[in-house]
Structure formats: C-alpha cells, structure tokens
Amino acid sequence: MKTALDPAIKDTPEGIAADAILRSCVHCGFCLPACPTYQLLGDELDSPRGRIYLMKQLLEGRGVSASTQLHLDRCLGCRACESACPSGVQYGRLLEFGRALTEERVGRPAVVAAKRRLLGKIVPHTGRARKLLRAARWLRPAMPGALRSQVPETPPPPGERTLAWPAPRHARRVVIVSGCVQPTLGPGIDPAAARVLDRVGISAVASTGTGCCGAVSQHLSAHADALAQVRRNVDALSRQLEAGAEALVFTASACSAMLADYGRLLAHDALYAERAARVSAAARDVSQLIAAESVALRGVLRESARSQVPRTPQRVAFQAPCTLQHALSLNGVIEPLLLAAGFALTPVTDKQRCCGSAGTYSILQPQLSQQLLRAKVEALAAGDPDVIATANVGCLHHMRSGTSIPVRHWVELLDERLALD
Ligand code: SF4
Ligand code: SF4
C-alpha cells in the first residue's frame, strides 16, 4: 500500500513504524473472515482492512471524525486478523497508535469521557476495584438483569489450601506477578500455579511492588497512565531478576502479552529501555513454563495416578483466549497438558473467536460483547462439558456471567488433579 504520512508524524518513531505497517498491507482481505466484528456487523469499516484504511487516512492527515473513532472503538483488539494475515501486518501495533491519535483529535461526549476516566482510575488499582466490587455485590439484587450479570455473586470463602503458597525449596526460582483484578476475581489462581510449579521443581514467589500490567489503561488509550504502570513494574521486576529469579510469570495471558511488550513500549526511553527489554526477555505465561517442564509433569502425574482410584475423566471445554492465541502464539500448548492430566477435552467450534471480554470492551461495547459471549458459551457448551477452562482471568469472569457451567483457570484444574495423590 502506498502511503504519504502527515509530515508532523512521518519521522517520529511511531510514524516510521506505522508507515511500515501500512505499507505491508496488500488489501487481500484474507483477514476479514477472522474478524469477529466484521462477522457480526458485515460493514467493511468494522473489518481489519477497513480500519487500516481509516487509520491510513488519519495518519495522512486526510480527516478523522467521530465515525473513525466509532469503528476503532468497536475493534476488540483481539488480533485474530494478525493470525490470518499472510503478509504479517502488525495490526495491533497500528491500532494502538491509531487509537491514541484519534483520542487526541476527536472529542468524546462528556459522559463517555467521564466513564472511561473512571474505569482508568478504578480497574487497574486492586484496592479500589475490590471496594467497587463489594459495593456492586451489595447492590446486585436491585440491578437490572444485564448489569447484574456483570457482577459476580459473592463466592464461598476460599479454603485454606486454595490460597496456600508452597515454601520455596528448589534452586530454580521464578516470580509470579500479581495483576490488578485477579487477586479479587481469582485469588486461588496464582497459588495453584505456584503449587504446580513446585511439583515440577520450580519454586515460585509472589512479586512485590508491582501492580496492573498496564493493559487496562492501554485499552482505554490512556498511554501516559499505561507507561507509568509499566515503569513501576520494570523497577520492581528488575530488582527481582537481580535477586536471582529466572523468569517473570503471569497466570493471565493478557498480562503475559503485555509484559512481553514492555521492551518495545519503552524502547525509546533512555532510562528504562535496557531494563524493560530484560524484563520482557524473562516474561513467561505460566503455560509456557509448565509446558517446558512437561516431562517432569508427566512423571508427577503418573505417580499421582498410581495412588488414585480410577474414575470417569472430567470433561473440559478449553477456551483459548485471544491473547494466548494471537499475541503470544501459544495456541495448542495447554490442551496436551490437560490431556496428560487425564481430562477429556470436548470439541469446540470457532476456537479463534473472541469471547467479547477484551479488557474494558464488555463495559464500553456491551451489546457487541454480549453477542460474542452468547456465541462463545454456545460453542463451548456444545460438547456437554463438566467445566470450561480458560487461561485469562478477564475471559473467566466474562464467561461466568453467560453460563451456568463452572468456568475455571486451567492451572487450577491441573493443581487439583495433582492434589489428589
Ligand atoms: S490479510 Fe493482511 S494484507 Fe490482507 S487485507 Fe488483511 S491486513 Fe491487509
Ligand atoms: S483486532 Fe479483532 S476485532 Fe479488531 S480488526 Fe482485528 S480481528 Fe477484527
């Protein structure tokens, strides 16, 4: 694609990167069938190719309007288009820049702007999010149905084992990075990962001094806030690498993808570039780390199986989050681990399709999000599973609101299987 970028943008680092991305698109349209919003709305401007065209216009200074903003807002940022694209177009990176520029140039109605600001002030902060959730649970009975489904019911108090971290005992040591919403919505997930890692010879400790990975603010195009969160985490995680941790692990695939991107995000920051690159190089999704130890895991599972009474395998429908599939390219890594642990996987159609969670999308685009949720839970339920497993807390929370089938993090299932010996 030929481009003629606005001179004010052309020679900036973002402009140079965006120009290269725009030029790599050959308009073939192979990405269109992979795009969930194009499938739902049937409008070229709600497809990757259409959005690339809108961003080209924007970057060339040929007009940006509320319509541009609408079509970019409707994008999930799922990056299914990247996996489908034969030309390697880095759509997600272009979207990040396109949205930031649109945010600068097109205003938003005061109520919408205030809602976005409020989300940015609450969601990335664990304490504030917890208080809001507590208040929402209290008000839940009085809420209308659609809103009520977004507020999870008060769960039973977690058992002692659920929250227990094994004492460090191995030479190999990793840090599990706590995110922002996961300690509230899934407090048992990180300890479960630590117990599984312990069984394969790796001690895991919880990170200190970290907070939200920055993805929530990034979704809201609040880039200054996102970068402040990224720098705080780079400071804290660099100290933990210096203290001997071999890897920095997230159990939420969206946060893993963000952590892997820190090096790029701070590449032009003289003070942080080197340390951010080191942090990204050490970033792992928990699935990568456990899959790399699959030989040890299979040994532990064999031992466990010998001491257990044989029973009918639990039927699991696995939902691969978009960040796992398209941002981290870890498609197909978790399923063999679940099979090795004796679970039976049920068939799931349209695996690449987003569940509609997508950061703050379920709050800001509720109608599209609900349509995607309905289609996703229908596809997952088709094989009559006992449980739905996922790899991202955002998807977990979102899917729980749309189905009566229990939804769990896959590492919790693995942990429970190991605990039976
Ligand atoms: S598949 Fe890739 S090259 Fe083809 S239109 Fe989509 S983004 Fe452009
Ligand atoms: S990121 Fe997802 S929703 Fe956005 S254009 Fe690509 S496939 Fe469509």
Q: Where are the domains of the chain?
A: 7-105, 110-148, 173-289, 310-419
Cα distance between residue 100 and residue 91, in whole Å = 14
Radius of gyration from C-alpha coordinates of the chain: 22
Annotation: CATH topology of 7-105: Fumarate Reductase Iron-sulfur Protein; Chain B, domain 2 (1.10.1060)
Question: Ligand 1 centroid vs 374 CA: distance in angstroms?
Answer: 28
Taking the CA of residue 30 as reference, the ligand 1 atom at the shortest distance is 1
The DSSP-derived string for 67-135 is HHHHHHHT-----HHHHH-TT---HHHHHHHHHHHHHHHS---HHHHHHHHHHHHHTT-HHHHHHHHHH
DSSP E strand boundaries for 132-196 = 173-176
What separation in Å is there between the alpha carbon of 256 and the centre of ligand 1? 26
Q: Model confidence at 205, in pLDDT bands (50, 70, 90)? A: very high
Beta strands 407-409 and 173-176, pairing class: unpaired
Report the pLDDT value the prediction gives residue 146, as an integer from 0 to 100: 65
For ligand 1, the distance from its centroid to the CA atom of residue 49, given in whole angstroms, is 6
Of the CATH numbers 2.40.128, 3.30.450, 3.40.50, 2.30.30, which one belongs to the domain with range 173-289?
A: 3.40.50
Is the Cβ atom of 389 under 6 angstroms away from ligand 1?
Answer: no
Which of 413, 392, 197 has its CA nearest to residue 292?
197
Length of the chain, please?
421
Q: Does residue 397 line the site of ligand 1, with CB under 6 A?
A: no
| Fold: same for 173-289 and 310-419 | yes
Closest-CA residue, ligand 1 atom 4, reads: 28
Distance 260 CA to ligand 1 centre (A): 24
Q: Which ligand is nearest to the CA of 323?
A: 2
Percentage of the chain surpassing pLDDT 70? Answer: 95
Name every residue whose Cβ is closer than 8 Å to that of residue 155 and which is 6 or more positions away in sequence: none
pLDDT, one tens digit per residue, over 24-63 is 999 999 999 999 999 999 999 999 999 999 999 999 998 8
List the strands of the sheet with 283-285, edge to edge.
203-206, 173-176, 247-250, 283-285
| pLDDT at residue 178, as a whole number | 86
Using the mean position of ligand 2's atoms as its centre, give its distance from the Cα of residue 10 in Å. 25
Measured CA to CA, the distance from residue 419 to residue 293 in angstroms comes to 18
261 CA distance to ligand 2 centroid (A)? Answer: 19
pLDDT in tens, 81-140: 999 999 999 999 999 999 999 999 998 999 999 999 999 988 888 778 778 777 777 777
pLDDT at 295 over 60: yes
Class of domain 310-419: alpha beta
**Going by C-beta distance under 8 Å and a sequence separation of 6 or more, which residues neighbour residue 130?**
183, 184
Backbone φ/ψ region at 157: left (φ over 0), alpha (ψ -120 to 50), beta? beta
State the closest ligand 1 atom to the C-alpha of 88, by its place in the atom list counted from 1.
2
Residue nearest to atom 6 of ligand 1 (CA): 31
Does the Cβ of 87 fall within 6 Å of ligand 1? yes
CB 165 near ligand 1, within 6 Å:
no
Distance (Å, whole) CA 200 – CA 260: 24
Residue 312 tokens read as 């009918």
**From atom 4 of ligand 2, which residue's Cα is the shortest distance away?**
75
CA distance 291 to 391: 14
Amino acid in the structure at residue 270: A
Q: Whole-angstrom Cα distance, residue 67 to residue 101?
A: 14
**Ligand 1 centroid, distance to 227 Cα (angstroms):** 29
**Closest C-alpha among 258, 294, 300 to residue 276:** 258
User: From CA 83, how far away is CA 90, in angstroms rounded?
Assistant: 10
